Amino acid sequence: MTETTEKIYTHRYLLTAAQCNAQSELAPAMLVQHIIEVATEHADDLGVGFKQLEADGNLWVLSRIALEMKRYPRLLEDYSLSTWVESYNRHFSQRNFEIRGDRDEVIGYARTIWVAINMKTRRPASLEHFDFLAGLVCDKECPIAPPGKIRAIEPPQMCHPYRFQVSDIDVNRHVNSSRYVELIINQMDLDTYDTFYVSRFEIEFRHEAHFANDVEVCSAFSNDGKALVSTINRGTDQICLARTITLPRSPSN
């Protein structure tokens, strides 16, 4: 179910057992997938979606995301994602999200940056003919820090090879953003997620990856042990960098 005002778009969900992770809650990668879906729906609603950009040979690409969660939606919980445009210019758009649980409590926020690229050249494209978007910028608060600078930690403490398969590829013929999140989350074991939950996750996408690309997922804990910094590398290219911060679980999460 969806709701929309002039500037804010809301999609409501029910978390079924088939969508849960081992902790009976919404997985971070599924949340990222929802964020992409809701952003796409709102862009379509505003007249700047896939069809409109495709007509000019362009497409939207998620460039950066930062999310913070007090907890994640639980099995059989009704929850919602609301989105709005924070800013816009001729090359990219900043879009925010609010996640609410079944009692209408705010349980998290996300900040995203979207870039338009040309389908053939894969270079940044101009959005200047969508200047009406400037009138749809919303001043609703998003009280989490924007995505910050992520620096790889050398040498990494763990590395795992992976070859991208058919199911990793999306409609734009490159690796789905949520697949990168899954690979990074998989760097820690199940016992970790039974004891801790992902309170903040940031990822910066630098290069596209495609079917049959061989990559290496490398991670290391920061000196204070509070963050796991990860990179997915294809040879010397850093496909993406991520920072994962966990907190101990409590009865409320």
- Per-residue pLDDT of 162-203, as tens digits, reads 999 999 999 889 999 999 999 999 999 999 999 999 999 999
- Phi–psi pair at 47, nearest 5 degrees: 85, 20
**Is-contact 62 36, C-beta < 8 A?**
yes
Q: What are the distances in angstroms from CA 22 to CA 29, 70, 192?
A: 13, 18, 12
Report the alpha-carbon distance of residue 244 to residue 136 in Å, rounded: 32
Report the alpha-carbon distance of residue 70 to residue 80 in Å, rounded: 15
Query: Average pLDDT in the 145-160 region?
Result: 95
Tell me, what's the pLDDT at 3? Answer: 60
Rg (CA), the chain: 18
**Residue 95, both tokens:** 């879009």
Q: Provide the 10 A C-beta neighbour count for residue 167.
A: 7
Does 1 score more than 60 pLDDT?
Answer: no
Query: pTM of this prediction?
Result: 0.92
Least confident of 135-139, 144-148, 193-197, 214-218: 135-139
Residue 215, CA atoms < 13 Å, CB-side half-sphere: 26
> Please, what is the average pLDDT of the chain?
92
User: pLDDT tens digits, residue range 47-102?
Assistant: 888 788 777 888 888 999 999 999 999 999 999 999 999 998 877 889 999 999 99
Q: Give the 3-state secondary structure of residue 77.
A: coil
Tell me, what's the pLDDT at 90? Answer: 79
Q: Which residues pair with 9 in a beta bridge?
A: 4, 83
In this prediction, residue 218 has a pLDDT band, given cuts at 50, 70 and 90, of very high
Q: What are the distances in angstroms from CA 130 to CA 41, 134, 136, 186?
A: 17, 8, 11, 39
Tell me, what's the pLDDT at 136? Answer: 86
**Percent over 70 (pLDDT), the chain:** 97
